Structure 1
Amino acid sequence: MSLPIPNATELAREVAALNTKVAAGVEKLRTIRDDDVEIATTPKDEILRTDKVTLYRYRPLSERTVSTPVLVVYSLIGRYTMTDLQEDRSLVRNLLNLGIDLWVVDWGNASRADRWVGIDDYVSGYIDECVAAMCETTGADKVNLLGICEGGVFTLAYAALEPDKVQNLIMAITPLDFHADEQEDDPGKGFINLWTRNLSKEDIDKMIEVWGVLPGEFMGALFAMLTPVRSATKYNLDMPDVIDDEKKFLNFLRMEKWLSDRPDHAGQAAKEWLQDLYQENRLINNSWQLGGRDVDLRAVTMPVLNIYALADHIIPPATSRALSGKLGTDDYTELGLPGGHIGLFVSTKSQGIVGEGIVDWLSKRDV
Structure 2
Amino acid sequence: MAIESPVRIPALDYEKEMKRWSQVFKILSEDGPKIEHSPRQLVWRKNKTTLWYYAAEEKKYSTPLFFVYSLLNKPYILDISPETSVIAGLTKRGYDVYLLDWGTPGYEDSDISFDTYILDYLEKGVKRALRHSGEEEISVVGYCLGGTIASIFASITDLPIKNLIVATVPIDFSTGIGPEKWLEGMKNGQFEIDRLVDVYGTIPADYIYYGMKSLAPIYVSPYVGLMSRAHDSKYVERWRRMDKWLNDATPFTGAALKQMFNELYKENKLVKGELVIGGKKADLSKIDCPFFAVSSANDSLIAESQSLPIMDLVSSEDKTYKLVEAGHVSLALSGMFAPLVDEWLASRSTKVEDKTN
Q: Distance in 2 between matches of 1:138 and 1:231?
A: 38
Q: Distance in 1 between matches of 2:202 and 2:72?
A: 11
Shift in alpha-carbon separation, 1:222–1:4, aligned structure 2, 3 A: farther
Aligned to 2:87: 92
Deviates more, 1:261-270 or 1:322-331: 322-331
Query: CA separation in 1, counterparts of 2:144 and 2:258?
Result: 17
The runs of 5 or more residues in structure 2 that have no matched partner are 351-357
Q: What is the CA–CA distance in structure 2 between the aligned matches of 1:312 and 1:265, rounded to whole Å?
A: 23
User: Residue 223 of structure 1: which of 212, 221, 224 is its match?
Assistant: 212
8 Å CA contact 1:48–1:130 kept in 2: the answer is yes
Residue 17 (structure 1) aligned with residue 22 (structure 2): no
* CA–CA distance in structure 2, aligned partners of residues 334 and 268 of structure 1: 32
From 282, 295, 306, give the equivalent of 2:269: 282
Are residues 1:143 and 2:132 paired?
no
**Alignment length, in residue pairs?**
346
Whole-angstrom CA distance in 1 between matches of 2:37 and 2:185: 40
The alignment status of 1:321 with 2:308, answered yes or no, reads: yes
Q: Is the 8 A contact 2:56 2:93 kept in 1?
A: no
Give the CA deviation at 1:271: 1.0
Amino acid at match of 1:239: L
Provide TM-score, normalisation by structure 2. 0.88
Aligned-pair CA distance for 1:260: 1.2
Following the alignment from structure 2 to structure 1, what is the Cα–Cα distance between the partners of residues 161 and 271? 20
**Do residues 212 (structure 1) and 201 (structure 2) align?**
yes
CA distance in 2, matches of 1:272, 1:54: 23
The share of aligned pairs that are identical, in percent, is: 25
Q: Which runs of 5+ in 1 are unaligned?
A: 182-188
What is the aligned partner in structure 2 of residue 184 from structure 1? none
Change (3 A) 1:99 1:23: same
Contact 1:212 1:267 in 2 (8 A): yes
The residue type paired with residue 215 of structure 1 is P
Amino acid corresponding to residue 280 of structure 2 in structure 1: R
Letter in 1 for 2:200: W
Q: In the alignment, which residue of structure 2 is the partner of 1:56?
A: 52
What is the match of residue 41 of structure 1? Answer: 37
Range 277-286 or range 19-28, more displaced: 19-28
How much does 1:129 deviate?
A: 1.4
Query: What's 1:355 paired with?
Result: 338
TM-score by length of structure 1 reads 0.85
Partners in 2 of 1:231 and 1:3 — Cα distance? 38
2:310 aligns to what SS in structure 1? Answer: coil
Amino acid at match of 2:11: E
- Give the SS at the match of 1:219: helix
Check whether the contact 2:168–2:307 (CA below 8 A) recurs between aligned residues.
yes
Aligned to 2:225: 238
Q: Note the aligned Cα RMSD (angstroms).
A: 2.7
